[in-house]
Each structure stands twice: as C-alpha cells, then as structure tokens.
Structure 1
Amino acid sequence: MDTSTVVILDFGSQYTQLIARRIREFNVFSVVLPCTVPLERVKALNPKGIILSGGPSSVYDADAPPADPGVLALGVPVLGICYGLQFIVHHLGGRVVPADRREYGHAEVEITAETPLFRGLPQTIDVWMSHGDEALALPDGFIRTAHTANALAGIADEARRIWAVQFHPEVAHTRQGMELLKNFCMDLCGCTADWTPEHFIQTTIERVRAQVGDGHAICGLSGGVDSSVAAVLVARAIGDKLTCIFVNNGVLRKDEFAKVQKTMREQLGLNVVAVDAGERFLEKLAGVTDPERKRKVIGNEFIAVFDDEAKKIFEAEKHVGGEVAWLVQGTLYPDVIESSSVHGPSHTIKSHHNVGGLPEDMKLKLIEPLRDLFKDEVRRIGRDLGMPDEIIERQPFPGPGLAVRILGEVTPDRVAMLQEADEIVVDEIKKAGLYRKVWQSFAVLLPVKSVGVMGDQRTYANTCAVRAVESEDGMTADWAPLPYEVLRTISSRIVSEVRGINRVVYDITSKPPGTIEWE
C-alpha cells in the first residue's frame, strides 16, 4: 500500500464501519481489521496510526476480545474510542470498573487539558456516549483531558503518542467529531490526503491487468452500481478479455432484463451474455416461504445457471487458444463485514446475497476490485469513470430481488403484481425529486388480505407496504418522512392500477431494530 493508511481494530462496535468512512472523507485510506488479528499483520500495513474501536464487552471479563496489547507499543499514534480507552487503561496498568451510572446518549463534555487531539474545539462539546464501565485509575504517564458531569471522557499520554476518548467522535451526534478525527489523522499521524478516486482507478486498473495477464475473466452482472462499476473497471484493464453474464432470475423489477442489457451494451460498451432463466428460478421457488430458504434457493440456482454459461464461455475460449481463469465480483466492504464475524466479535444478522461461492470445479480466481469500498465511494469511482447517472445513482437492490419483498410464496402472479406496484413507487419518488435523497424506496407484497370497496363493490385483496429509508451505507437507517402528497399519490395509483391490491400501508420502522428489507 503506497498511500497513508490508518488501521482500525474492531472490538465489535456497531459504529466501527462509520469510523472508517469518516477517515476516508479526509481522502485517507482506512482499513478495518478484527481486534484478534496478529500483530504482524498490523505492522505489515505500515500504518500511520491505529484506532481502537468501541465494543460491547468489558475489558475485565474472562471472555473479553483477545487483542494483542503490542499495538500500543508500535510507536505510531493510537486513538482509543470508548472500549478502546478502557483497553488502553486496562493493559497499561490502570483500572477499569463498572460505572455507578451508565451513560448512553447525548452528553456534555468539558475539555480540561490542552492536547493536539482537541485543537480548535470549544471547551465544551456535545457528544454521544455509550458505556457502562469507567476508568477509575489511569496508568502511569496518562493525564485526564476531558470529563462529563459523571465520568472521565478523555485521556492522553503524549510521550507514548496515545490518546483516547470515552465518547464516539464518529457519529453525527458528536458535533465536533470530524474535527477531532481530522486532528488525529492529519496532525498527529501526519497522513497525506492521497486516497482519491483517480488514484484508486489508476492503481486498480494496473493491478487487475497484471493479475489477469493473458487470461480471460467473467463477471456476473446484476445491473446495480456495484457489479457495473466493477465490470467497467476490469474492462478498462483487460478490454474484450472480459465477458459479463446477466441472468434473469424471474424476480427482477419490471422490464429490467431488457433495460439492463441495453445500458450495459450501448452505454458502457460491455460484452454481455444475457440468460433468461426466469421460469427455472420460479419453479425452484414454488412452495418456499422461509426467507433464508428463498435466499439459498436463488443463490444456488444462480450458481447453477452461471456455471452452465461459464462452461460455454470456457469452451469458446479454448477454441481460440484462450483460458478463462478469473471471476469478477462487485463485493463491497459492508458485504464482507455484515456476512461474517471475522472482522471482530460482531453478530451476523443474515446471510448476505453478495457473498458466496461458485462450484470448486470451475477453479476460478477472484477479482474483487471494490472489496475495500463503501457504496458512496463506489459511486464516486463510477462518476470518475464517466458512467451514466442512471447506473451510478441507482438505489441498492437485493441480490434475491423481489423474492425477499414478497412475503410468503413467490409465484409468477405475485411477482407480476409486485413489479407493477414497485414501479409506481419508484416512479413517484423520482417525480417528486426524492430518488437521490433516500437510500432505498420500494414496495413489499404482504401475505395479508383485507376487505375494501372499489366501484361500489366489496373487494377482498392484498396489502402492499411502501418502504423508504434514509441511510449513509445501509448498516443503519431511518425511515424517510415522505411528503403526504407523495404517499397519497403512491397509494392511489397502486390501488387503482394494480389489480389484486386494495390497501397500502407505510413502514415507519428504523434499522435497528428492523432491517431495511422485510426478509
């Protein structure tokens, strides 16, 4: 890595990814590693600084995450956040105990000592707290730098280049949090703002070109921004040695199979093989109602279809003396972290549709050019690649498609019904100028029927839920307060235009406690 790097050790905090995102906003590369990672792996990255995240454990518990305290003696600046502060105190000879009063939510912190970490901040700052333990005694060499009315809020040992805060500077509720993180990264660590889209594109193209060499690659396209940007990046590197496979799994949005092909071929210049396997997928989904089972059925069938098409490409390449040896995937950083607990002791919510495997006998090596990026960074890369807005600004769409937005059995009739309702939701959101302002907006078909009146006649038909959320990266989300007029138009159009639906409801659940998708 030839750029400035800040390593974040994840102790299981729900905010760890947010720390990484905040640092990248300074155009500084950040990487999240599990707190259990060997010290040699941290050293191999030659980090400019190390951040210890928060976490749900207590440092004095027998089952506390077994991180190597050697990270505190590498000689590079260290910033502890919440649990990270307690880790520093505990392992350097201080004492951490259960707090008499737990602090959770907004708090007022008074800065009591001059330190470069707080440079430019007012003496009193509003922060976000989330802790049940406190540092009762500090290790030798440390001073208190801040406090709330109830507890210690900051410490420092500038001789050892170690700073820590009990609050969370990475969340928006801490108003001066970005200034604090910038002080750490730019001033204390001496990072250079060299993590830019231009640099990423150049280095990625060079790396992929060297990886593939004289080989060929295949890519599974979904039509979304992730797989599209990955495909364009790899195509820039190896040209027509990339073949993209786009599969209709029967649960795409209305007319999407034709629209995606047109965009990919005509606007992006990609070599696309399109496979209409809708009936094949729907036959496999017949009678399946469990959400996880749906995901597995679709994932397994996609692998089978992809395998069939890949073998045809293999045979064609052999006839011209080539060899397909690489598989391109649009995997993002949140995909990896949310699907696995390897990045610290975090909990897996559900199996993720973007992370999986192909048959071993395909013997393909992976190219995941976006694996270290967040969604907003992928969009920035897409813009710099000159890709059209209709691809770059497309809202996230689940790999299992409408199958996880149809609660209960997925049938051709129910798919068609939801496609019509979903198109109305997206159409009205776009007309209202809200499409780029919300993270996702879509319709969900519920396994609920209710009585209604249409044209002076009694009806007994399906219920449709409308879901719109605001989010930065999909890890957390708030329901979007759509204008009443927009909701009224959506409801009126769905009931009037979609045969089989007579009631529309709006989902006002945030994530957590809910998830963005219903299944």
Structure 2
Amino acid sequence: MDPENVKSNLVLILDYGSQYTHLITRRIRSLSVFSLCISGTSSLKSIVDLKPRVIILSGGPHSVHSPNSPSFPDGFVDYVESNGVFVLGICYGLQLLVQRLGGIVRVGERQEYGRMEIEVVRACGLFGSKEVGHKQTVWMSHGDEAAELPEGLRWWRAASRGQWLRLRIGSGGFTAFSIIRRVDAGWNMEDVLNEEIKLIKGMVAPDDHVNLRVIWGYKERERVMETFERDLHLPVTCVDATNQFLSKLKGVVDPEMKRKIIGKEFISSFDAFGQDLEHKFGKKPVYLSKEHCTLIASVPWAWSCSASFGDVTEGNALDILRQVDEIFIQSIKDAGIYDSIWQAFAVFLPIRSVGVQGDQRTHSHVVALRAVTSQDGMTADWYNFEHKFLDDVARKICNSVRGVNRVVQDITSKPPSTIEWE
C-alpha cells in the first residue's frame, strides 16, 4: 500500500448523523479505496487539508428547513468547483446541495420508510448496464424531497410511487455523483492490520499480557470461558458482577438510562478489578504477569436487560427471557437455519395477556420473537419462518416456560424499526 497514493485518492464523508454513514465508509473501503468520515460541520480548512478526491455528504435526521440544521462550511462550493472535487449527496446531503445551489426542497406529502422500488429513467454509466425501465429495490427513510433542481442537475432515477429518488447526477465542475469507480484502488485492510500489529508489538513487550474486556452478547460468560480455556488454552478469571449491575438497574424503566447504567457499570467493574490486579502484581494493570491473563465476564444478564422492557429486576422477567431465548435459538439450530439468520432473540414485553392453560384462565406474560437477515446490521429484513416452525416454537415456549401464555413474531424491517426493541 502506497501511503501517498492512498492520500491522493481519499473519499471523504461529511457525516450529518445518518445511521448509514459508517456503512457508506465500509462499502467504499470494500472497493479498495480509502475513506474517512468526519463531522459534517467541520471547518473548510480541515477539509482542504485532507485533499479529498471525492466528498460524500451523508443523510441525517435533520431538515434543511430547520433553523439550526447543520451544513457544510462557507466556501465549500467554491473549493470543490475550483479543485475538481467530485461530490455525492445522499438524502439530507442531497437536499442540502439542492438548497445551497439554488434549488427548492419541500416537505414531502408523506414520510417514507423501508423498502421502495425505483426505476432508471435515463441511461447512465453510473448504473452499469442497467437500461431505462430497469427497477431495483432500495431502502428509503426521508421526509423532505427535492422539488426543483438547481441549474445543471438532472433526474436519473425515480421512485415507482411518484416520488423522485434522492440520488441526482449533474454536469460540470460541481457533480453530485460518485466518481469512486475511477479512483485508483490502492488500499486494503490487510495492510492496515499489519501496521496495527507492528504498532501493538512496539507497545507490548514479548513477556507482557494485556488486560482484556470482551463483549460477546448473550450467554457471554459461557462462550468466553470456553473459547479462552479450551481453544486458546489461556488461564481466565471470571468475575460475576450480576448483583452490581442489577442493583443499579433496580426501578429503572427508561431504555436510555438502562444503556448508560450498563455501560458505566461495565467500565466500573473493569476498573475495580484492574485496581485489585495492581495491588496483587504491584504495578498498573495495563500489562499483567506472564502467568495470568484476566478477562471479565461482567454480568450474564447484560444482553437480556436490553431485551426486557420496564424494570428488569421486577419479578422473574430475566429468567423468563433467558428460557424463551434458549428455546428459540435452539429451535433455529435444530431446524438447520442458524447460518441463514443475521440475528435472532426473544423480547420480554411489559404487558400481560389473558389465556387458558390447564382449563384455567391465566393472565400471563407476552414474549416476542425477532429474527432478521442482513449483511451488516445497518438495514435488515425480517426472517420468514415456515408456519410449522413458528407453531412448534410457540407451543414449546408456552408449555415449558411458566408465566408465558402468548408468543408473537416481529415482522418489521429496518427501517423503519431497529433490530433491537429498546
């Protein structure tokens, strides 16, 4: 990898808060082109100093009609025109371009989220061999739309429901289309990994060990211990901080507060154990003795807390969720479809449902099953289970898990929903 070549072919992304910004970064890097993401409100000097070949303006939750909506810096248009920098505007980024260049952006008649079909209305090399009339499924998430384009920009693709797609191509020096395919591909992740390995080796002596914290999701403790002890043959210390976490979460129902508490307690438990190691080994816990590698499985319930609504310490919500999730995941494995699903989990809902079990009326809990397909988690579609599979899983859950009498399936894509519920 030639560092100078990489720098001269930089694709710079100005981030305006889109959930897809890092996905854009990854997709460009997968083409062996280096991309870098910075704030959309960065100064003109910071942009100029990076000398980008291409600039992408990301989408975001803002509206160009809002008084405090973010924008690129003054002088940006003159800079890209005079230096031949190609610009691609996506969603909010495109609306920002249209407005700043003299076009008209209006509030859409309706907001659009999720899948949408678009159609090629004018032949263009950007779409490869796709001919006029070709249709393609894309993901939409927007409220505003470009009503009138500035001089020099043209429509190239349209949404099938009468709304124009937000990707436009223009002509001239200021071009809202990606020239990435013409950028020299000289960047690759393997070179980056080799450079990082050299950096780490320079920081850590051969006889030193680093204190690690591993996040591995559901059943984290069991999987971490098994991997490090059986596969890596490393001595591991497991610290169960369940009581510490649950005591802090007691009475908390707001999901954002739950996230902050869990994150804070992870760091707190990690630091506390590091201090114990400092006393034991007589030095800072960045590097440990040769004979001992320490890893914290801080709390086996941490993942479950984000899949359970309300106060997670109330009743036996976490026990129920763990049992339901175990049945669901094992059923997926038994059906031979585990590798076809991006993510699957159960959700404990904060409601009770009337049911009939054992000839008696019950008023028990409701759980939801969520399974999605995806490439990277940024967009996702719900997994279409066979009817018999769902029937079998629902029966197992209601018959095996005391306190549950209703099972529902989440069939919402991302967007408009996220994969997780809280």
Does the CA-based 8 Å contact 2:105-2:145 persist in structure 1? yes
- 3-state SS of the aligned residue for 1:132? strand
- The equivalent residue for 1:443 is 346
Does the CA-based 8 Å contact 1:440-1:470 persist in structure 2? yes
Q: Is residue 206 from structure 1 mapped to residue 198 from structure 2 by the alignment? A: yes
Q: Is residue 96 from structure 1 mapped to residue 108 from structure 2 by the alignment? A: no
- The equivalent residue for 1:295 is 259
Do the aligned partners of residues 56 and 424 (structure 1) sit closer, same or farther apart at CA in structure 2, a change above 3 Å counting? closer
- The equivalent residue for 2:180 is 185
Q: Is residue 218 from structure 1 mapped to residue 211 from structure 2 by the alignment? A: yes
Does the CA-based 8 Å contact 1:58-1:133 persist in structure 2? no
Specify the code of the residue in structure 1 equivalent to 2:181.
M
- The equivalent residue for 2:292 is none
- The equivalent residue for 1:404 is 306
- 3-state SS of the aligned residue for 1:164? coil
Deviations, residues 366-409 of structure 1 (Å, cap 9, x unaligned):
xxxxxxxxxxxxxxxxxxxxxxxxxxxxxxx9993111222233
Q: In 1, Cα distance between the equivalents of 2:300 and 2:226?
A: 21
Q: In 1, Cα distance between the equivalents of 2:63 and 2:253?
A: 40
Root-mean-square deviation over aligned CA pairs:
3.8
Do the aligned partners of residues 74 and 37 (structure 1) sit closer, same or farther apart at CA in structure 2, a change above 3 Å counting? farther
Q: Is residue 77 from structure 1 mapped to residue 74 from structure 2 by the alignment? A: no
Which structure 2 segments of 5+ residues have no match? 289-298
- 3-state SS of the aligned residue for 2:191? helix
Shift of 1:275: 0.1
- The equivalent residue for 1:280 is 244
Q: Which moved more, 1:118-127 or 1:23-32?
A: 118-127
Do the aligned partners of residues 464 and 25 (structure 1) sit closer, same or farther apart at CA in structure 2, a change above 3 Å counting? same
- The equivalent residue for 2:322 is 419
Shift of 1:192: 0.9
Q: Is residue 310 from structure 1 mapped to residue 274 from structure 2 by the alignment? A: yes
Do the aligned partners of residues 276 and 78 (structure 1) sit closer, same or farther apart at CA in structure 2, a change above 3 Å counting? same
- The equivalent residue for 1:469 is 372
Does the CA-based 8 Å contact 1:8-1:51 persist in structure 2? yes
Q: Is residue 164 from structure 1 mapped to residue 128 from structure 2 by the alignment? A: no
Shift of 1:20: 2.4
Q: How does 1:130-141 map to 2 (within 5 A)?
A: 132-138=145-151
Do the aligned partners of residues 273 and 48 (structure 1) sit closer, same or farther apart at CA in structure 2, a change above 3 Å counting? farther
Shift of 1:211: 4.5
* TM-score of the aligned structures, taking structure 2 as reference length: 0.76
Q: In 1, Cα distance between the equivalents of 2:374 and 2:334?
A: 21
Q: Is residue 494 from structure 1 mapped to residue 384 from structure 2 by the alignment? A: no
- The equivalent residue for 1:432 is 335
Do the aligned partners of residues 457 and 55 (structure 1) sit closer, same or farther apart at CA in structure 2, a change above 3 Å counting? closer
* Match of residue 131, structure 2, among 111, 122, 133: 122
- The equivalent residue for 1:53 is 58
Does the CA-based 8 Å contact 2:308-2:317 persist in structure 1? yes
- 3-state SS of the aligned residue for 1:516? coil
Residue identity (%): 39
Aligned residues: 389
Q: In 2, Cα distance between the equivalents of 1:145 and 1:450?
A: 52
- The equivalent residue for 1:25 is 30
- 3-state SS of the aligned residue for 1:408? coil
Shift of 1:8: 1.4
Does the CA-based 8 Å contact 1:216-1:323 persist in structure 2? no
- The equivalent residue for 1:169 is none
Q: In 1, Cα distance between the equivalents of 2:406 and 2:107?
A: 51
Do the aligned partners of residues 275 and 8 (structure 1) sit closer, same or farther apart at CA in structure 2, a change above 3 Å counting? same
Does the CA-based 8 Å contact 2:367-2:406 persist in structure 1? yes
* Match of residue 108, structure 1, among 119, 129, 143: 119
Does the CA-based 8 Å contact 2:341-2:383 persist in structure 1? yes
Specify the code of the residue in structure 1 equivalent to 2:12.
V
Q: In 2, Cα distance between the equivalents of 1:102 and 1:78?
A: 28
- 3-state SS of the aligned residue for 2:265? helix
Q: In 2, Cα distance between the equivalents of 1:28 and 1:208?
A: 25
Q: In 2, Cα distance between the equivalents of 1:503 and 1:100?
A: 41
Q: In 2, Cα distance between the equivalents of 1:407 and 1:151?
A: 39
Q: Is residue 517 from structure 1 mapped to residue 416 from structure 2 by the alignment? A: no
Which structure 1 segments of 5+ residues have no match? 166-180, 225-251, 328-396
Deviations, residues 230-273 of structure 1 (Å, cap 9, x unaligned):
xxxxxxxxxxxxxxxxxxxxxx54xx523421212321345533
Specify the code of the residue in structure 1 equivalent to 2:246.
L
